[in-house]
Amino acid sequence: MDILGLHLSPRKGGNSEDALAEFIRGARKSGAETEIFSIADHHIEPCRACAACETTGICVISGDDMGALYSLLTSIPLIVVSTSLFFYDIPAQGKALIDRTQALWYRRYSLKQFSTLRPSGRGFLLALGATRGQDLFLPVNLCVKYFFDSIGLPKTFDSLFFRQLEAKGDLKIRSDYMEQIYEAGLAFGRWRPQVGIAAQ
């Protein structure tokens, strides 16, 4: 598997799902093997800040859909996040997924296990919202920067941001946006991990 697409909005058939589908269509055209994890189809409990993972690197919460994700997040080299904005940031359901990677942060930074988990990789962010403020994407960009860091991806990454998209279907009718997304997916799908380059 080359690319994991994380769809972090709870709305099915919405704009960020359409964005991810178009990005992945491009990536597949480039020959990448892809998988999509959609938060709307899964249940992830929020982090309880119990601190158990601080010494073990393993989250104590079980019985939800996060368990299988840990190994995907630390092994698939290319990860694309697609999200809408709820109050300037990632919707709560998707944010729960990100918060649960605190266990991986401890593995990487406290337990020093991370170099054994992923040789190299790269992230990409697709984000969109209904309004048009200049600073609209600052919070999501920061959040995803440190999410990528937590799972061992570089803190610098490419992104596409789209404003003034609200109702379902608003993105799909913007052929200019759809083309940009497809092209970005094509380029992302061509990337392959460099053997011997350690995670940053």
Ligand X SMILES: Cc1cc2nc3c(=O)[nH]c(=O)nc-3n(C[C@H](O)[C@H](O)[C@H](O)COP(=O)(O)O)c2cc1C
The 3-state secondary structure of 63-79, one letter per residue: CCCCHHHHHHHCCCCEE
The Cα–Cα gap between 67 and 155 comes to 24
Q: Given the complex with ligand X, which of 16 and 74 has the nearer CB atom?
A: 16
3-state secondary structure of 109: helix
Using the rule CB under 6 A, give the single segment among 39-47, 110-118, 123-131, 140-148 that binds ligand X.
123-131
What is the smallest separation between the CB atom of 40 and ligand X, expressed in angstroms? 9
For residue 12, state whether it binds ligand X (rule: CB under 6 A). Answer: no
Show contacts with ligand X in window 22-81 (CB under 6 A).
none
Q: Given the complex with ligand X, which of 117 and 130 has the nearer CB atom?
A: 130
Helix residue ranges, H only, the chain: 15-29, 53-56, 67-73, 92-100, 102-109, 138-150, 175-190
Show contacts with ligand X in window 86-115 (CB under 6 A).
86-88
For residue 181, state whether it binds ligand X (rule: CB under 6 A). Answer: no
The Cα–Cα gap between 179 and 186 comes to 10
Number of Cβ within a 10 Å radius of residue 59: 22
What is the smallest separation between the CB atom of 9 and ligand X, expressed in angstroms? 4
Residue numbers of the site for ligand X (CB under 6 A)? 9, 11, 14-17, 84-88, 128-131, 136, 165-166, 168
